[in-house]
Amino acid sequence: MRPIAPTTLTDGAAMFGALAHPARLAAFRHLVQAGQRGAVAGAIAGASQLSPSALSFHLKELAAAGLVRSWREGRYVRYALEVARLQGLIAFLVEECCQGRPELCGLPVEDRPATDGVPAAPASARS
Amino acid sequence: MRPIAPTTLTDGAAMFGALAHPARLAAFRHLVQAGQRGAVAGAIAGASQLSPSALSFHLKELAAAGLVRSWREGRYVRYALEVARLQGLIAFLVEECCQGRPELCGLPVEDRPATDGVPAAPASARS
DNA sequence: CCAATAATTCAATAGATCATGAAAAGTCCA
DNA sequence: TGGACTTTTCATGATCTATTGAATTATTGG
């Protein structure tokens, strides 16, 4: 499962925008906890006090940003995280923030052979 | 420098919202590259094709989310990242996404003594 | 087929966000 | 002090986002 990072600032902004609402963040968290199996819309609605149409609206926003996918299962629609895409967003943020040096972001660092002081490549130019 | 994570979903959503615009993402990246010293507004504007008032608007959004701070230096105003806050946002995302298991997010994992199979604590309940 | 269930779509509305340009507020230096 | 420079603020209008409830689509089981 290779991370799929946003390719442009506009794409990245759209992904952050998808998370920029408490109801969507709550749905996002619900789907994180649901794991790869996902959760049906009704279960997410039940946990979030949202009307069906409001939930549908917000899930569509998450899906438009590529953070979530959905499929029909009988009369239900099941949603699950696009884990690779989410990993891509985190990688994007870490790259922007840390320029390839995760420890600057407060993240744990992988145990690797010494690189003779050669720093990791900085974030490349992006439109 | 301890990460300062968002404390509520609303706070987290506001932080994501601050990054949910290409111009702000560009300014954010500029400030990342500027480091702790920061950059004056004019330098950011010059690199971003934004009018002074548009830039001011977007920097204010970043500041309102706590991602950026500013201070006056003579006739300039200098902006710099709030690194701890940014680390907090990443920690929040990793916690939500990975429930304490960074490898699920595609992140490198700190080399630690074995934990006898006891998993890390999951993300705690948050309003 | 029909009724019940699950979810989405749609229209209307309210509110938030954004771009623009003019005006104003600080600061510096001659 | 006065003019130049940097940045912010403000008002306007345009566009985007969110909420609501009614209508619609899809599916199941009787």
For residue A89, give the nearest of B98, B2, B46 by alpha carbon: B98
Q: Which range is most confident: A16-20, B96-100, B104-108? A: A16-20
Does B54 reach chain A within 8 Å, measured CB to CB? no
> Residue B111's pLDDT is what?
47
The number of domains in chain B is 1
Asked if residue A29 belongs to a domain, the reply is yes
Does B32 reach chain A within 8 Å, measured CB to CB? yes
Per-residue model confidence as pLDDT tens digits over B53-89: 999 999 999 999 999 999 999 999 999 999 999 999 9
The DSSP code sequence of A29-41 is: HHHHHHGGG-EEH
Containing structural domain, residue B61: 1-118
Nearest to B97 among A13, A86, A107 (CB): A86
Asked if residue B126 belongs to a domain, the reply is no
CA distance B127 to B118: 27
End-to-end CA distance of chain A: 26
Residues in chain B within 8 Å Cβ distance of A123: 29, 32
Return the sign of the alpha-carbon dihedral for residues A94, B117, A27, B91.
negative
What does each of the 127 residues of chain A score in pLDDT, given as a tens digit? 788 999 999 999 999 999 999 999 999 999 999 988 999 999 999 989 999 999 999 999 999 999 999 999 999 999 999 999 999 999 899 887 777 666 666 666 544 444 444 444 444 444 4
The encoded tokens of residue A66 equal 């590529």
Asked if residue B127 belongs to a domain, the reply is no
Q: What is the CATH number of the domain that holds B3?
A: 1.10.10.10
